[in-house]
Structure 1
Amino acid sequence: MVTATKRLNQDYLKIKKDPVPYINAEPLPSNILEWHYVVKGPEETLYEGGYYHGKLIFPKEYPYKPPSIYMITPNGRFKSNTRLCLSISDFHPDTWNPVWSVSTILTGLLSFMVGKDSTFGSINTSDATKRQLSAQSLAFDLKDKVFCELFPDLAEELKQKLKDQELSGRTRFQTIRSWCTLC
């Protein structure tokens, strides 16, 4: 456990100094072995505009054994709250490399998320479903207490985006209504 704690603290400092593109990650203050992450859907993907919360559960033997990887936010690519089978996860301890860091794991997860390969824990949904879930992800994440506690800046950003969407929707409705009164 001492080795895992030491290594995860090093990984945390590294990820704060050199963040993974499109990803925020924080360990639980009460348990360094449980990290939560948020993937911001990359531009020009079906996930653009979405925010996807998930978690990594590290074994006491980390970095010599890989973590379990979960996606919490519905996204159309992975089942929610299901252990994901990836070459960087505990499904494949034989392919795990102890030099891989939290940054490496999250980069691999993002690469797999925007790809099309199928594995245990992945699901097939339509492009329209993925876009719909992207739009719904903001409100979903804001209902999650852990998300809001670990990522307060992101929570505020999502609240503002939802407020802007609501105002934009009202403006469109008012414009359509004004057109109708002209008829």
Structure 2
Amino acid sequence: MTETQSALLLRRQLAELNKNPVEGFSAGLIDDTDLYQWEVLIIGPPDTLYEGGVFKAHLTFPKDYPLRPPKMKFVTEIWHPNVDKSGDVCISILHEPGEDKYGYEKPEERWLPIHTVETIMISVISMLADPNGDSPANVDAAKEWREDRHGEFKRKVARCVRKSQETAFD
């Protein structure tokens, strides 16, 4: 049986990331038999509230990748305006390609087949450093980020960072 194009592409991207790791995250398969289920470890970016955190997330790729984006879900608890309370990441690069029916995003900000796991992860690390409070997935976190960034928001993030360090390698 030959692998589909998407599986070949994912295998190539995984091999490339293993050969040339990118600072800030590592990636691997959840189960060696399924190229469509990845686990990533994201290191909280320096000089951000997330610094020192080790956040685990899963990337689930559709069979027609790269025509459609993967879904990303944090397994480690994280308090962030662009991550909903169940851990789903909501950023433009992971939104289905084409026009945004709400008019918030330009088509070129959304998923494009040229994106790779590396470009996705760089976007997610950037999102941690600079949340988008205008289009939140977690309204409560966005409100705190806007109104009490150095108080309650910072405390909740610090708790998530500590918890992530304790559970990083479970």
Is the TM-score greater than 0.5?
Answer: yes
CA RMSD of aligned residues (A): 1.9
Deviations 1:90-132 (A, max 9, x none): x332232111111111111111122120345345151121112
Residue aligning to 1:133: 160
Task: Name the amino acid aligned to 2:166.
Answer: A
Alignment of 1:106-125 (within 5 A): 106-118=121-133, 119-122=135-138, 124=141, 125=144
Aligned identity (percent) is 24
Q: How far apart, in 1, do the equivalents of 2:36 and 2:131 lie? A: 29
Which structure features the higher share of helix residues? 1
SS of structure 2 residue aligned to 1:39: strand
Residue aligning to 1:87: 92
Q: How far apart, in 2, do the equivalents of 1:76 and 1:13 lie? A: 31
Q: Which structure has the higher relative contact order (CA within 8 Å, separation 6+)? A: 2
Instruction: Summarize the Cα distance change of 1:53–1:37 in structure 2 as closer, same or farther, 3 Å threshold.
Output: same
* TM-score, scaled to structure 1: 0.70
Structure 1 residue 43: Cα displacement: 1.9
Q: 2:52 pairs with 32, 49, 54, which one? A: 49
Residue aligning to 2:29: 27
Instruction: Summarize the Cα distance change of 1:80–1:55 in structure 2 as closer, same or farther, 3 Å threshold.
Output: farther
Task: Name the amino acid aligned to 1:22.
Answer: G
Task: Name the amino acid aligned to 2:88.
Answer: R
Q: Unaligned stretches of 5+ in structure 1?
A: 144-183
Instruction: Summarize the Cα distance change of 1:81–1:36 in structure 2 as closer, same or farther, 3 Å threshold.
Output: farther
Instruction: Decide which structure has the larger Cα Rg and report it.
Output: 1
Structure 1 residue 84: Cα displacement: 2.2
Q: Unaligned stretches of 5+ in structure 2?
A: 99-109, 145-152
Instruction: Summarize the Cα distance change of 1:79–1:139 in structure 2 as closer, same or farther, 3 Å threshold.
Output: farther
Q: How far apart, in 1, do the equivalents of 2:56 and 2:120 lie? A: 15
* TM-score, scaled to structure 2: 0.75
Q: How far apart, in 2, do the equivalents of 1:140 and 1:88 lie? A: 28
Task: Name the amino acid aligned to 2:162.
Answer: A
